[in-house]
Amino acid sequence: MKMKPKNNKPKLITRENFRRFGWIIELPDRKVSKTENLFKIIVRQPKQGWRVAYLVVRDRVISRLEQHPESLESFEPVKGKGLLFLTTKKDSASIECFTLDRPVILKKGVWHGVVSLSREFDVKIVENASVRCVYWSLGRDL
């Protein structure tokens, strides 16, 4: 006997109707600041050792890069357009720039920074549950 779902008509996902199944990866309160980047941890699984976060990039330039010596980190574009600046060594001449148009995972210790090419650039991030950040001031804007 074939089982049919209660309702074959697809629903739009909302926080209310999806809550019992999981989480929407979003940043609903975007009005906190119109000029600063926003970052929010969406879900954390400390016993399993990872977390999911949502980043809204509004920066058009960056003056520093960061790295996470003990954590891999994914950058998964959701909406908008942006650039990802990367280097494996603390040498400004070695910084490379990529269009962030597909999901990527950075190795531990990679220096990185993200800027927006659109008004806002939304990015989903998955990383260790606890992340140590090291910052490198570039002395100029990229």
Q: Where are the domains of the chain?
A: 27-137
Instruction: Give the span between the Cα atoms of 92 and 109, in whole angstroms.
Output: 16
**pLDDT computed for residue 10 by the predictor:** 65
Q: What is the pTM of this model?
A: 0.79
Q: What are phi and psi of 30, to 5 degrees?
A: -90, -5
What percent of the chain is modeled with pLDDT above 90? Answer: 55
Q: Which fold has domain 27-137?
A: Jelly Rolls (2.60.120)
Highest mean predicted confidence (pLDDT) among 2-16, 29-43, 115-129 = 115-129
pLDDT digits (tens, 9 = 90+) for 14-68: 888 877 777 777 777 777 677 888 888 887 777 778 899 999 999 999 999 999 9
Q: Average of pLDDT values for 95-118?
A: 92
Residue-averaged pLDDT of the chain:
86
